[in-house]
Structure 1
């Protein structure tokens, strides 16, 4: 029989109780806080500035305007929870606001991420149908068509995340024994969570990326061969195409790549190997998550740059009362001339 000394028992107990990832105060936390502050300030400013012009496009039953309005609403819901994350990183990964508040903040964070991706998908498919099959799908491109798509996206994403919240283990994040009070930073990752994350990467990122790639590849091919479009219109279509794919590449791809790698390591390795990997990857992963928050900044900027309707409405709102009368006449008289090019963007 093996003899077990009290020292060995104590060592085993300490090893068992030692947290998988011990997050210590670090300058990286200040960097993450700075990213969220920038995202909050510029995201709130740009979305508020473009909200009314986008609403004006919705009143005109502009399909792109409806998609953009729903994208802005999703961004704003996330932006309003961002001070909670700023405070979290200011306190070196200590939440201190209770499990329910963590639930709400995480719900809007991840819901916004996937609502944004799927709405960008809807926009890309809509642009593809407008450019490649204008006569076949024009009768079906109604405001109801756009609202139904947005409602389906919101419903699917939110129902999924409500189900996740009901089955997660966020109470384990609040560990009094180790004086840690984290939010959505639970280690080690369990097998069922790792499996769900790999599925989430496939359905939430890779599938939308494929849809985007195919849609804009067809758009660019069709626009390039169209002799009836001006060079300016073609440039705007290319800008929109590259811009949306760029949002995916810069904001969403790094996070989902590291999420898949973390989940793969957790699913196919022991807890010891996984914890060692998590200690090395914790701050890079947190950085990619912070980077994903910047999509709420670039969304309104991108579409103001390329959308004639939103940009003209924004300029119109910024003019004085005397200038608005003249500008309104100019915009009205020019609508018929630019309707074909505006339909593309």
Structure 2
């Protein structure tokens, strides 16, 4: 690929090999881990709690992200004919639905846990399996509506093309990138970090951590890792590539490095499908006593309220 006498052929050649090396283990591990998790949540767990509903939704989002990967690997090394353009847009839609659906599901898990630990009295009114299911439905609708414009992100052309590459200039409009960065990353990141920090602080404030509390802390940290590790570099790379398209960055060497950074970051972002498996492992232990944390937080908050009233 060449743009304004700046060649990206070396980057494209490198990514053809790198994507295969990264995608194959991610796809195989991701499918196995997520299918196993789906079986555990849907078959082996007798009771559906708020946590299992959110985690099942996360599994579905991860599977939706994994499904297009074989086609993405094929498109890296092969040109697609023009009659596959709509199928390509469909695959791209599934990919981004899975990605941003995972982001918002992880944010919902953080908020749900924050309610249960930090505001146990309100949690009794706000938390329920029906509320969790309704929230998941809202996430699906919101992501589907947000991703629907992707069908217009490819220019009408009769030439062969690489699927998942070569989006039209409409993708790099300021309004699109601002929405992606703010609503696709910054807002969920703030929610996840703030809720997680407050939840851990509340658990630590209660005194010596019990085994169940330590398990909850591990869940919180693993959820943050499953979000921050894959999605921070990719959205930083999108922002830098946006600056390239806006003409803010014009140096050819810098543009080449940003192109490589973007493709590597987007490639590694798929590892979230495997990182979420850590959350599945911890959640399977937590649901054995689903009301433990809520019960303990209620007692702790009641003691704190009683102490405050005596001052």
TM bucket, shorter chain: 0.7 to 0.9
Q: Distance in 1 between matches of 2:282 and 2:179?
A: 35
Q: Does 1:168 align with 2:153?
A: yes
Q: Does 1:282 align with 2:259?
A: yes
* Kept after mapping to 2: 8 A contact 1:81/1:108: yes
* Kept after mapping to 2: 8 A contact 1:213/1:245: yes
Q: Distance in 2 between matches of 1:128 and 1:87?
A: 42
Q: Distance in 2 between matches of 1:268 and 1:25?
A: 22
Q: Which of 213, 233, 253 in structure 1 is aligned with 2:232? A: 253
Matched residue SS, 1:169: coil
* Kept after mapping to 2: 8 A contact 1:130/1:137: yes
Q: Does 1:304 align with 2:290?
A: no
Q: Does 1:240 align with 2:219?
A: yes
Q: Distance in 2 between matches of 1:194 and 1:38?
A: 35
* Kept after mapping to 2: 8 A contact 1:39/1:294: yes
Residue 165 of structure 2 corresponds to: 185
Where does the alignment leave 5 or more consecutive residues of structure 1 unmatched? Answer: 1-14, 313-334
Residue 216 of structure 1 corresponds to: 196
Residue 316 of structure 1 corresponds to: none
Q: Structure 1 residues 18 and 185 mapped into 2: Cα distance closer, same or farther (>3 Å)?
A: farther
Per-residue CA distance 1:234-263 (angstroms, 9 max, x = gap)? 322221222122122211000000101111
Residue 200 of structure 1 corresponds to: 180
Q: CA deviation at 1:80?
A: 2.0
Q: Distance in 1 between matches of 2:212 and 2:80?
A: 48
Q: Distance in 1 between matches of 2:71 and 2:292?
A: 45
Q: TM-score, normalised by structure 1?
A: 0.75
* Kept after mapping to 2: 8 A contact 1:21/1:275: no
CA RMSD after TM alignment: 3.0
Where does the alignment leave 5 or more consecutive residues of structure 2 unmatched? Answer: 297-311
Q: Distance in 2 between matches of 1:292 and 1:191?
A: 19
Q: Structure 1 residues 170 and 36 mapped into 2: Cα distance closer, same or farther (>3 Å)?
A: farther
Q: Structure 1 residues 268 and 27 mapped into 2: Cα distance closer, same or farther (>3 Å)?
A: closer
Q: Distance in 2 between matches of 1:284 and 1:233?
A: 40
Q: Structure 1 residues 206 and 75 mapped into 2: Cα distance closer, same or farther (>3 Å)?
A: same
Residue 324 of structure 1 corresponds to: none
Q: Which of 75, 87, 104 in structure 2 is aligned with 1:101? A: 87
Poorly superposed stretches of 4+, deviation over 3 Å: 15-25, 56-59, 93-97, 187-192, 274-280, 341-344
Q: TM-score, normalised by structure 2?
A: 0.83
Q: Distance in 2 between matches of 1:186 and 1:70?
A: 31
* Kept after mapping to 2: 8 A contact 1:170/1:186: no
